[in-house]
Amino acid sequence: MTDAVLATRGLVAGYEPDLPIVRGVDLAVARGDFLVLLGPNGAGKSTLVKAITGLVSIHAGSVTLDGAEISTSPIHEKVRHGLAFVPQTENVFTTLSIEDNLRLAAQVLPRPGRAGRIAALYAMFPDLAARPRTRAGALSGGQRQMLAVARALVVEPRVLILDEPSAGLSPKVVTEVFARLAAINATGVTTILVEQNVRAALATAASRSGRAAILVEGRIAHEGPAATLADDPIVAELYLGARREPEPAA
Amino acid sequence: MSPQILVDGLIAGSMIGLGAIGVTLTYSILRFANFAHGDYLAWGAYFALALSGALGSLAGGALAAPIGPFSFGWSLPLAALAATALTAGLALLVDALLFGPLRRRGSSVIILVMASFGAALTLRSLLEFTFTSKPFYYTGELQIAVRFAGMRATPDQLLSLAVALVLVILVHLLLTRTAIGREMRAVAENPGLAGVAGVDVRRVVRTVWALGAVLACMAGVMAGLLIQIRPQMGLDLLLPLFAAAILGGIGSVPGAMLAGLIVGVGEAATVAVVGAQWRAAVAFVILVAILLLRPQGLFGRSDG
Amino acid sequence: MIDLFGYGAFFLSMALTYAIICLGLNVQWGQTGLFNVGVAGFVAIGAYASALLTTPDTPDRLGGFGLPIVAGWIGAALAAGIASFLVGALTVRLRADYLAIATFGVAVMVQLCLLNLQGLTGGPFGIGFIPRPFAATATNPALFAALNLALLLAVVAALYLGLERLLRSPWGRVLRAIREDETAARALGKNADRFRLQAFAIGGAIMGLAGAAQGHFIGFIAPENYQPMLTFQVWAMLIAGGSGNNRGAILGAIVVWGLWAFSAPAIAALFPPDQQARAAALRIVLIGVGLCAILLIRPRGLLGETRTVSRHLPKAKPKP
C-alpha cells in the first residue's frame, strides 16, 4: 500500500449530482503493476477511470498520485503529473495529422525534449512513422488505437489508463494491441486496463504477474492476482460461463 | 458585372469576412452562435473613436494631421491598436460574467445563444446610452478616389482591403502553423480529449475570445472609417456575419473570409441592380440558399 | 376613477396581448426546445396580415379588403403559421442554433419588407385605421375598454385551456419526450422532426394571432413596433415566468410588461428632457441585464416548469 503509485479512497463519482455511478471505491495500484478492471455492463468501470482522469466529476473521496492529492486539479494538470488516459472512443483528433496529434501531446513537455520524444515513439510504432502527414481520421481502427496509445505515452506517464482498447477491433489486432500493452508495462509504466474482453485481458495481465479487480454496482466486489482470478468460480460465473449477458450477482 | 461593383463588394466583404472569422472561431470552439459578436464590432469602433479623439487633441493636433493620401492621422491607427486590446478585454469580461458561469453549469447551447442575445442588446443599448444614436466619423477629411482601369476606390478603402487580407493570412498561419493554433483545432474537434492530451482548454477559450474580438474590432474600425459609426452597426452586420460564417463552413478561416467577400459582392450587386434599400436581404437569401443546399458550408465537414 | 379604470384596462389588455405571444413562444421553446430569435417578425406578419384583410379599401396600397375582424385574426394565424412552418422546415434537421440564426434572419427580412414594400405595408408610416373590436361602443370609453379587455381575457383563457389540453394529449407527451430524452428523440428520427415542426408552426400561428390582436387593440401598426426589442421583451417574459409553464408565460407577460411600463416614467424622471433617448436606452440595458441575471441565477423562472406530464411518460424504447 505504501508503494501505491495511484490510489483512490472512498471515491464517489457520476454524471448527475444525485446519481452516483461509482459508489465508494478504494483502490491502490502498485508501481509497475498491470491491473485489469472487470465488471458487468453499467458497473461503473468506465466512470471510475474517467473520474480518476477528471472527465467525470467526483462527488466525494480522494485520488492520489504518488501521494499527492489530484482529485481537484484540472484534467490537463493531471496529464502533467504523469497520468495518461486513452478513452474508448474518439481517442484521436481525426482532423489533425498523426504528427500533429503527437506534437499536441508533446506540448506538455519542455521544448528541447519534444522532438526526441516523438522520434522515440515513431521508433516504437513504425506504422505511424511511415506516414506522419496522414490525417488520423483516415487510419484503420487498429492504427487509430496505436496512435491513441502513442499519444498517451508522449508524456512518459507514470500511470497509463486505457478504456476498452479492444472494442471494435478484430481478434488479430486485439492480440497485437495487448502484446504492445504488455511490452509498455514491461518498461515500468503502471497500466490500468478496463476491458470486456475478459480472457485476453486476464491472460495479458497474468503474463505481467498483474492483478484484476471486479467492479459491481459501483463498488469493488473482488480483487486478486490476474492468474488466479481467471480460475475463480465467481469470475467464471460472471464472465467465462455460457451466459453472454451476465446479471450482477445479487 | 461591372468591375466597380466588384471593387465595392470586395471592400465591404473584407469587413464582413473579418467579423465572420471571429464568429466561426468562437462557434467552432465554444459551440454556440454568439449574437453579441456584432456588438463587439461596434464597441471596437467606439473604443477607437474615443481613443483617437483623445490622442488627436492631446499632442496639439499633430497626431490628427492626415497621413499621406489617407483621411486620418496617426491617432487612428494608434487608437485602433489600443481598441483591439480593450475589445478583447470586453469579450473576456462578458465571458467571465456570463458565458463562463453558464458553461460550467453545463447549460445547453440554446441557453448560451439566449444569453448572447441578452448581452447583444445590453451592449448595444449601452453604446446608445453613452454616445446617443447620432452617427460619428473618425475624420471630417474628404478623399480623392484613385482611378485604375475604369474603377475607383479611395486610399482608405484600399488600405482597409489590404489590412484585412494581411490579417486573414496571419490568422490562418496562426491556426495551421503554431502550437496555440494546433490546440485550438484540437479543442474545436473534441474538448474532452484535448484536456486528456494536456491542453488547458480554458486558456484556449480565452485565446479564441481575444482573437475573435481583435478581428471584430478591426472590422468595426474599418466600417467606421469607410461608412460611419452608429450603435446599430453591429446589429446591421450580424446577419451578414452569420451568413458568411455558415457559407464558409463553421471553423474554416479562409472559408469565412471568402464567404465574406461573396456576401459583400452580392450586396454591392444588389445595391447596383435592385436598390440600396434591399442590401440587407442579400445575407438572408444566401443564408437560406446555403441551409437548403449545403448546410455544412463551402469548406465545412459534413459531420461539423 | 374612470381614468384609473381606463388606464388599468389598457395596461392589462396590452399585457394580455404579450401573454398571447408568450404562449406561442412557450409552445416553441418551453415545450419543444426550439429557439426563435425572430418573434418580432412573426408577430409583425400576423399584425400586417390582419390589417390588410380588415382595413377599408385604401388607394395607395393593396387592399384593404374590409373583411370582419375574425377573418383578419384567422388570416393572421395562418400567415404567421405558414411562415414558421417554412423556416422550421429549412432548419429543423440542422443544429439547434441554425434555427436561431434563420429566425433572426426572418425578423430582419420582415422588417425590410415592412419598410420597403410600400404597396403592401404602407412603408415606414405603417397602417392606420385598423378596425377596433366593439367600435360601436367607443362613445362609452369605460364600456369600450371593458369589452376589449374581456375579449382579450377570453382569447388568453381559450388559448391557455387549449394548450394545456394539447400538452396532456398524446401529441404533447411525445413533444415532451423529444425535448427531455435524447434517445427517444433519436429513436423517433424523422418523426421527431415532424413533431418539432408542427409545434414550431403552431407557436408561430399563435404569435401571428397575438400580432393581430395587438394591432386591432391599438388601431395602427408601424415597422418600428417590430424591432428585436420586442423579441427580447417576450423572451424576458417567458424566462421570468418559467419556460414550459403556460401559467408562468401569462404571469411573466404581466409582470415584465408592468416593470417595463412603470419603469418608463421612473427612469425618464432621472434625465432632463433633452436626454430622453438616453433614458430609453438605459431601460433596455436594465432589461438585458435582468434577462442575463435570470438565466444565471434562477434559470427556471418564477414558477418553474410543471413536471406532472413527463412523470407519466412511458419509457421510450428504441425501435427494434
Q: Which domain holds residue A193?
A: 4-88+157-240
DSSP, res C314: P
Higher pLDDT, A111 or A242: A111
Peptide bond into C64 cis (omega under 30): yes
Q: pLDDT per residue over B215-271, tens digit each?
A: 999 999 999 999 999 999 999 999 999 999 999 999 899 999 999 999 999 999 999
User: A94 in a domain, yes or no?
Assistant: no
Give the per-residue pLDDT at A250: 39
Query: Cβ–Cβ of B121/C284 closer than 8 Å?
Result: yes
Task: Tell whether the model's pLDDT for residue C34 goes beyond 90.
Answer: no
Angle at B248 between CA B180 and CA B174, to 5 degrees: 20
Neighbours of chain C (3+ CB pairs under 8 A): B
Q: Is beta strand A83-86 parallel, antiparallel or unpaired with respect to A159-163?
A: parallel
| B301 inside 8 A of chain A by CB | yes
Whether B235 contacts B220, CB under 8 Å: no
Whole-number pLDDT of residue C303: 67
Extract the C-alpha cell encoding C228.
428585436
Identity at B67, one-letter amino acid code: I
SS3 category, C59: coil
Q: What is the pLDDT at residue C304?
A: 64
ipTM of the complex: 0.90
Considering chain C, what percentage of its residues have pLDDT values greater than 90?
A: 40
Integer angstrom CA distances of residue B236 from B239, B281, C45, C229: 7, 11, 21, 14
Is A246 a domain residue? no
Q: Of A150, A10, A11, A49, give the one whose Cα is nearest residue A92.
A: A150
CA distances from B293 to A100, B290, B296, B298, C20 (A): 33, 5, 9, 10, 35
Which residue, among B190, B193, B303, would best test binding to A if mutated, counting the most A CBs under 10 Å from its CB? B193
**CA pseudo-torsion sign B269, B272, B274, B279:** positive
Q: pLDDT digit string (tens) for C35-79?
A: 889 999 999 999 999 999 999 888 777 877 889 999 999 999 999
What span, in angstroms and rounded, lies between the C-alpha atoms of C122 and C114?
Answer: 8
pLDDT of residue C305: 58
Residues of A in Cβ contact (< 8 Å) with B202: 74
- Name the most confidently modeled range: A133-147, B62-76, B208-222: B208-222
Enumerate domains of chain B plus CATH numbers: 3-293 (1.10.3470)
Q: Is C67 on the interface with B (CB under 8 A)?
A: no
The beta-carbon neighbor of B125 closest among C94, C288, C295 is: C288
* pLDDT(B282) > 60: yes
- Least confident range of B23-37, B158-172, B201-215, C25-39: C25-39
CATH code: domain of residue A11: 3.40.50.300
A105 located within any domain:
no
Please indicate whether, in this complex, the C-beta atoms of B199 and A104 are within 8 angstroms of each other: yes
pLDDT of residue C189: 67
Predicted local distance difference test score (pLDDT) of residue B124: 95
Question: Which residues on chain C are in Cβ contact (under 8 Å) with B98?
Answer: 292, 296
- pLDDT of residue A168 exceeding 70, the answer is yes
The answer to whether A122 and A129 are in contact (CB under 8 A) is: yes
Q: Quick check: C285 and B283 CB within 8 A?
A: no
C97 to B109: CB separation less than 8 angstroms, yes or no: yes
Chain C residues near residue B278 by CB distance under 8 angstroms:
112, 116
CB-based contact (8 Å) between C98 and chain B?
Answer: yes
- Contact between chains at B119 and C288 (C-beta distance less than 8 A): yes
Determine the distance in angstroms separating the CA of B211 from the nearest CA of chain A, rounded to an integer: 20
Contact (CB, 8 A) for B30 and B238: no
From residue B136, alpha-carbon distances to A7, B133, B233, B249 in Å are 64, 9, 11, 34
Residues of B in Cβ contact (< 8 Å) with A104: 182-183, 186, 194, 197-199
Does A1 score more than 70 pLDDT? no
Rounded-to-integer distance, Cα C222 and Cα C226, Å: 8
Which tens digits make up the pLDDT trace of B6-35? 999 999 999 999 999 999 999 999 999 999
Domain boundaries, chain C: 7-226
- Asked if C89 reaches chain B (Cβ–Cβ under 8 Å), the answer is no
Q: What is the 3-state secondary structure (H, E, C) of chain A?
A: CCCEEEEEEEEEECCECCECCEEEEEEEEECCCEEEEECCCCCCHHHHHHHHHCCCCEEEEEEEECCEECCCCCHHHHHHCCEEEECCCCCCCCCCEHHHHHHHHHCCCCHHHHHHHHHHHHHHCHHHHCCCCCEHHHCCHHHHHHHHHHHHHCCCCCEEEEECCCCCCCHHHHHHHHHHHHHHHHCCCEEEEECCCHHHHHHHHHHCCCEEEEEECCEEEEEEEHHHHCCCHHHHHHHHCCCCCCCCCC
Quickly state the pLDDT bin for C228 (edges 50, 70, 90): confident
Q: What angle do CA B124, B125, B127 make, to 5 degrees?
A: 70
Is B171 within 8 Å of B185 (Cβ atoms)?
Answer: no
Nearest residue to A230 via CA among A20, A24, A27, A38: A38
| Residue C17: pLDDT over 80 | yes
Mean pLDDT across B102-114: 85
Rounded to whole angstroms, the Cα distance separating B167 from B162 reads: 9
The answer to whether the beta carbons of residues B21 and B250 sit under 8 Å apart is no
Question: Which of B266, B252, B263 has its CA nearest to residue B298?
Answer: B252
Task: Kindly give the residue spans of alpha helices, DSSP state H, lying in chain B.
Answer: 3-30, 37-58, 75-94, 100-104, 109-131, 155-177, 179-189, 191-196, 201-226, 233-248, 253-273, 279-293
What pLDDT is recorded for position C172? 85
The structural domain count of chain A equals 1
Binary contact (A75, B189; C-beta < 8 A): no
Collapse the DSSP code of C1 into the 3-class scheme (helix H, G, I; strand E, B; otherwise coil) and give the result: coil
Contact flag B121-C228 (C-beta cutoff 8 Å): yes
Best residue in A95, A100, A102 to probe B by mutation, most B CBs within 10 Å? A95
The CA-based angle C211-C214-C218, given to 5 degrees, is 140
Q: Are A162 and A151 in contact (CB under 8 A)?
A: no
Q: What is the pLDDT of residues A191-209, one digit of tens each?
A: 999 998 888 899 999 999 9
Residue A203 lies in a domain: yes
Instruction: Indicate yes or no: CB of B278 within 8 angstroms of CB of C228.
Output: no
What does the mean pLDDT of chain B come to? 91
- HSE, side-chain direction, 13 A CA sphere, residue A40: 17
Q: CB–CB of B284 and C299 under 8 A?
A: no
Which cell numbers in the block locate residue B241?
456575419
Banded model confidence at residue C119, pLDDT cuts 50, 70, 90: confident
**DSSP code of residue B70:** S
Place of cell 508522449: A154
- C-alpha to C-alpha distance for C233 and C248, rounded to whole angstroms: 15
Chains that touch A (3 or more CB pairs under 8 A): B
SS3 assignment, position B218:
helix
- Residue C308 pLDDT > 60: no
Tens digit of each residue's pLDDT (9 = 90 or more) over C247-273: 989 999 998 898 888 888 888 888 888
Residue A35 lies in a domain: yes
Of the given ranges (A90-94, B67-71, C175-179), which has the lowest mean pLDDT? C175-179
Compute the count of residue pairs across chains B and C with CB atoms less than 8 Å apart. Answer: 124
Q: How many C-beta neighbours within 10 Å does residue A111 have?
A: 9
Q: Verify whether the Cβ–Cβ distance B185 to A93 is below 8 Å.
A: yes
The model's pTM: 0.89
